[in-house]
Chains A and B, each alone.
Chain A
């Protein structure tokens, strides 16, 4: 019954990689089990919680719902590949300072969604931030400090 492994070529965090994954593997499975890229988390495996969010060609996707085969020839970016990204670094700093990080399991997905928002809309309202983060469930913070962090980062970046 075991699905045959297939060689997939994709760009991961700026580097060309070839990875043998099961034919029907999701990007989350490939990242975690075949590449040991562990920043994206399996929170629900159903596309609801957002903990597995990564960027494909610069756009956030649920890696648990994305087939690896669909990423062949595309660029995948995870938290491991965010060094040097100014928007991300600013967001990270504000998250650390605001109290937006508690258990941390949702944090990577939250940051990737927030980064996408700030790229599209450098001066979002609080409502826009809440909407952009509505696909990322956090059970610890009650969201207030996360929204504060994203708004704070936006303000700093727009200066």
Chain B
């Protein structure tokens, strides 16, 4: 599976082994409990009334008929929530629409009733008096001088990150290094174009949901489908004006997220309903609501220009993006800033300029989605690299090798690159994909490379040794199915030299878990893994102190032995973890508990090198690298593209669990394939026209190539736990660029609009240089 594996560092235990996830068993037996499977005594069911308007003032509500409907216990509207607003970057969002509605589908009122059917029925009896306002349906319209303003009090909002919010402009980012304007004169080849990418729906198989109950002292317990129990806690408390100590946030199993469950969905509404009803309330969205209400991948308009010398050396790149924010900021300032940070790709380009505007519109919020702005700019950038190569007679591998970042280089604007296995990723893909197909026919091959950062924001771990020497690990990181509980337990077991199954992983709970920003930004293995390793090391140190007393020797003479023993070097005498921990519960020094809390500590921006305005992440993380090759077929009557074979190589530092890394690469590629070829949320005016799986196509087993080859490249990062870096997003990023390059190879036509539908590809085949829409 891996090519050119370096000699492993200490891997006596479970790290590097494809341990099966312990949760697999309950899942194959149908016993795993997701949010919809939880029931509480006296529990009511919630339902939401969604706004029919894109932009309207709410003049009032008439709830009389709905309150009389069978089974109804409580109804909430904007009148029931205070002035509090939530948001990771800009606090611009109430728990439920208050004063105005800002998109079709926005929750306006919610009902708690005996059954879901009764709650939905009552919702239809609620009357809302709206004063319709003109709507902003595109970023261009939002920036127009006479544009209607979505957030009239924008200036007064609390901003964790303030980058020039004004009018409908939510944020702007400008990054530059070198002298781009002067550099074009040095270029022998320049390519320039304008690209658009479409909104993509996450379509986690589990729709969003929550269950809340309030105890007699007013303290709230909240379970929800989430990617961070702590972001849930913060969002609910900010929007409802609750002290954070008054809310306990927990998680059942989560049916995937991909970014959709990172920030709030309907948790604040569910809590408000439970508080008003004084009974537990469960609220589960339908698939249609999940499409219309929650969030989606940002559509981008990208203008990109790249220049190179005649020998293929890249000289300059300029990238300008216009990003549709939707109605609320959510993670959008982060997504836009990150896309600009990544827009140069993993190349040495001495002169770079990147700028972007993020604009509020009357659509559902766009937010985090696997890739986080990277796939959009790569779609443009990786095609331009190929185009330059074509003009200069350099093949896709050659031009990338010539320009790729190398060990010791810095990324655009300054972050240090720890380890870099990109060259080996390219080698793996080239070696495996070269030549023709098995039947002798030529390949329609396309290549894209990518880098992605793992890191970002607060994380922690608590490792406890139980009295019998087994381990309880608590990190607060939500495992959304990708297997982070397994990977973190492997890291913990490895550090303690214990078998994997001696480590139990606690379910995230804001009452008992250390802080974790969330399962996002490819960060859990890397960042939380670092905390786990450090916390486990502290447990070892404490155990050593006890063992020194027990063995009556100096701590420096002791060694940790496999299987949970500490012994004197050069002697057979040792004590077991069970003996140590049993004693520790009675001895001075006390029971063994190690904890660690950290934030990635290296600066993103190097002021000596670059100018950065509106860069959202001052300290961000380490870089993973990947190369993706695809071989496509294009139907010459329909233009329909199918991927015949794919080769995905990723440098993840160290694969703690190779099988789980492979599945990330498979799953990411297929989600990227859907994005590249057909997935698209379509608006008919202000209304989403295809909010259902009937009308929004996602790839099925028949739509994906059987041959998706994965190559795990390990270039250990010095700061990563056992060298590990993130693997969650990098498998998706490169898909649109690689597929677009393959389609160009097959048809001779370049495409600037995603998705590459049969209609568009056919039009390109009929008129390769013609206009595109």
Question: Which A positions have Cβ atoms within 8 angstroms of B?
Answer: 1-3, 22, 32-33, 36, 38-46, 48-49, 51, 78-80, 82, 91-92, 95-97, 99, 101-108, 111, 126, 129-131, 133-147
Contacts and interface: CB of A to CB of B under 8 A. Distances in A.
A137 B706 contact: no
A97 B39 CA distance: 31
21 contacts: A2-B118, A39-B30, A41-B34, A41-B36, A44-B693, A51-B205, A79-B29, A80-B30, A91-B28, A95-B24, A99-B18, A102-B482, A103-B205, A104-B28, A105-B205, A106-B205, A126-B706, A133-B700, A134-B701, A142-B666, A145-B663
Contacts, number: 183
Interface string B688-707: 00001110001111101010
Contact of A130 (B24, B284, B702): B702
A107 B27 CA distance: 7
Nearest to B45: A33
B24 A101 contact: yes
Interface centre among A39, A80, A144 (most CB of B within 10 A): A144
Contact of A145 (B31, B116, B666, B702): B666
A103 B663 contact: no
Nearest to A25: B117
A78 B701 contact: no
Contacts of A96: 20, 24-25, 28
B32 A104 contact: yes
A141 B663 contact: yes
A90 to B, nearest CB: 11
B206 interface: yes
B121 A139 contact: no
Nearest to B69: A1
A101 B27 contact: yes
Closest 10 CB pairs of A and B: A39-B30, A103-B481, A79-B30, A104-B27, A105-B255, A142-B666, A142-B670, A103-B256, A48-B693, A92-B28
Interface in B627-667: 659-660, 662-663, 666-667
B663 A140 contact: yes
Contacts of B667: 102, 139-142
B663 A142 contact: yes
Contacts of A41: 34, 36, 205-206, 255
A104 B23 contact: yes
Interface in B668-692: 668-671, 692
A139 B205 contact: yes
A44 to B, nearest CB: 4
Interface size class of B (residues with CB under 8 A): 35 or more
Given A102-B256, A145-B663, A46 B694 contact: yes
Interface of B: 18, 20-21, 23-34, 36-37, 39, 69-71, 115-118, 121, 202-207, 253-256, 258, 284, 286-287, 480-483, 659-660, 662-663, 666-671, 692-694, 698-702, 704, 706, 708
B598 to A, nearest CB: 28
A64 to B, nearest CB: 10
A95 B28 contact: yes
A3 B117 CA distance: 10
B93 to A, nearest CB: 26
B70 A142 contact: no
Contacts of A99: 18, 20, 659-660, 662-663
A2 B71 contact: yes
B251 to A, nearest CB: 13
B704 A144 contact: yes
B708 A44 contact: no
Nearest to A83: B29
Given A38-B30, A106-B205, A143-B700, 17 more contacts: A33-B116, A36-B39, A44-B693, A96-B24, A99-B659, A101-B24, A102-B481, A103-B480, A105-B255, A130-B706, A137-B203, A137-B205, A139-B202, A142-B667, A142-B669, A143-B670, A147-B706
A99 B481 CA distance: 11
A117 to B, nearest CB: 12
A38 B39 CA distance: 11
A105 B255 CA distance: 5
A105 B23 CA distance: 12
A139 B483 CA distance: 15
A124 B255 CA distance: 29
A44 B692 contact: yes
A51 B206 CA distance: 9
A45 B480 CA distance: 22
A26 to B, nearest CB: 11
B770 to A, nearest CB: 34
Contacts of B33: 38
B670 A102 contact: no
A51 B708 CA distance: 25
A24 to B, nearest CB: 10
A139 B702 contact: no
A43 B205 CA distance: 6
